[in-house]
Amino acid sequence: MTASTLPPKAVSAPGKVLLAGGYLVLDRNYTGLVFGLDARIHVYIEPIKTKSGVTLSEIIVKSPQFREATWEFGYRLVEGEGGIGVTQLRANHTLPLRKNPFIETTLTYTLTYITTLLPHPHLSPSTISILASPAYYSNPGTSPSSSTSSPSPFLKYPVSLPEAHKTGLGSSAALVTSFTAALLTYYLPTHIFDLETDAGLRILHNLSQAAHCAAQGKVGSGFDIASAVYGSCLYRRFSPSLLSSLPAPGSPGFSSKLKALVEGRDGAEWDVEIRKAAIRMPRGLRLVMCDVDCGSETPGMVKKVLGWRAEHKDTADRIWDALQQGNEEFAAELTRLAGEEEDAGKERYAKLRDIIARNRALIREMGQASGVPIEPPQQTALLDACSKIEGIIGGVVPGAGGYDAVVLLVEDREEVMAELKKLLAGWKEAADEENGVKIGKVGILGVREDMVGVRLEDPTGYTDWLD
């Protein structure tokens, strides 16, 4: 098969919610309990449409749900094992370049890795379309005029991408993972890379972690990439030093060092732990996420908590160790319940309620000691009120905490959801203002847990969004 006849491919990856292990997941001595979400980012890739006889070294990336969301890139092989150099092209000299570091960096890293695997690396030009589930954005959107009998699962937004209001479901990690997987699946034959094998997932995870860290300018814990690749799991981070020896793209030796890193060779063995079997969702339960119209500055919160921990190590270690024990008990109890009959008695979830309550108390203690609103009083009131509804087991402020969202563990029954919606409908009026912060409207996001990570999709399912 020639490069010009490569068939279209499509891949999707899920968003995430860190149900337990916020802050702890930054330290390799601790773990995080992360659930994938059924809000997915899809990437469709096909040959670029050119006139006969015209040869290009160009990749066009589009996000057709938004205004002015097209990026054009030229690419070339850099001498001295510098990898693939990617340059954003200016389609119209009157318009400023709109940078997207996640797209540009992922292209650079993934195309570089691909060229280390092909004997005569010629990358044919392609067009890539990115589509995101509506739950990633709180902006109102509209359905496109459908040319098929079934409505599109994606919405059109009357704003540019920078103007879109994200709901905090891990869009950058889902984007980098699905984008990387689509490129690998499109350009490499399955005997070299197969997304549906353990080896393929390991390569995808390592490459996505490297690209995502480079794009965001820091070595994060990586739990969001892990859940985008593998779905729901118990996660222990990799050592940050793994990525520190990687040269900058274009530097001599970048491609060979990247290949060794991604494949875990030459001293770059990955010490990450991803335990999918350690977490299951019991039948009859589901996650519900409530989007709070407020907001937190997560990087500032993390820096302050870590600063407090460095100054008060004994107190911090006591809280963190207790939280780690609680997180492990949480995962174990969910998994135990998953193997039990649904009608195992009215007090089936008593232990789970107790574990959630104890973990929340520890989180509030950490917040008070560090001076960081991890579970602010406003969120405490909201969680307490929700937890009093029959059929709601409990809830937490996920991830780094703050005012962004809450996540609830709920019996999957219509009457429970109806009572929750009734409570939240009047919550804006019921909430009081403290510390200068007031919770605005609280809405239920249209998402739930998804145990499946990255997956191949049917390329014929995106016709409404392709030129």
Please report where in the chains the tokens 């990247």 appear, as a residue: 258
Residue 118 has pLDDT above 70, yes or no: yes
Average pLDDT, stretch 30-57? 85
Query: Average pLDDT in the 268-284 region?
Result: 92
Tell me the CB-side half-sphere exposure of residue 169, using CA atoms within 13 A.
33
d(CA 17, CA 36): 7
Residues 84-99: what's their mean pLDDT? 79
On the question of pLDDT at 295 being above 60, the answer is: no
Whole-structure pTM value: 0.92
The domains found in the chain, sorted by start residue, are 3-89+97-140+155-276 (3.30.230.10), 285-444 (3.30.70.890)
CB 420 within 8 A of CB 408: yes
Nearest to 186 by CA among 102, 110, 264, 130: 110
Rounded to whole angstroms, how far apart are CA atoms 156 and 153? 10
User: Strand locations in 260-316, DSSP E?
Assistant: 273-275, 285-292
**Confidence band, pLDDT 50/70/90 cuts, at residue 1:** very low
Phi, psi of 361 (to 5 degrees): -65, -40
What is the reported pLDDT for 346?
A: 61
Candidate from 91-105, 182-196, 307-321 with smallest mean pLDDT? 91-105
Burial of 406 (0-12, 13-18, 19+ CB in 10 A): buried
pLDDT tops 80 at residue 96: no
Q: DSSP state, 461?
A: G
Model confidence at 93: pLDDT above 80? no
Q: d(Cα 132, Cα 174) in Å, to the nearest integer?
A: 9
HEC readout, 353-381: HHHHHHHHHHHHHHHHHHCCCCCCHHHHH
Instruction: Identify the weakest region by mean pLDDT among 38-47, 122-131, 138-147, 250-259.
Output: 138-147
Average pLDDT over all residues of the chain: 89
* pLDDT confidence bin for 291, thresholds 50/70/90: confident
Identify the weakest region by mean pLDDT among 161-165, 416-420, 448-452.
Answer: 161-165
Angle of the 298-311 helix axis to the 350-370 helix axis, nearest 10: 80
- Residue in the structure block whose two tokens are 């299951």: 280
**DSSP SS3 for 221:** coil
Using CA atoms, how far apart are residues 171 and 298, in angstroms rounded to an integer? 15
- Name the packing angle between helices 171-187 and 101-115 (round to 10°): 30
Three-state DSSP at 197 gives coil
Q: Compare 93 and 67 and report the one with higher pLDDT.
A: 67
65 vs 141: CA distance, rounded Å: 9
pLDDT by residue (tens digit) across 429-446? 444 455 556 666 788 988
What is the DSSP-derived secondary structure letter of residue 3? G
- CB contact at 8 A, 73 and 183: no
Q: What pLDDT sits at residue 298?
A: 64
DSSP 87: E
Q: What percent of the chain has pLDDT over 70?
A: 90
Q: Which of 118-122, 160-164, 174-178 is modeled with the greatest confidence?
A: 174-178
Q: Which helix (DSSP H) or strand (DSSP E) does residue 56 occupy?
A: none
What confidence score (pLDDT) does residue 21 get? 93
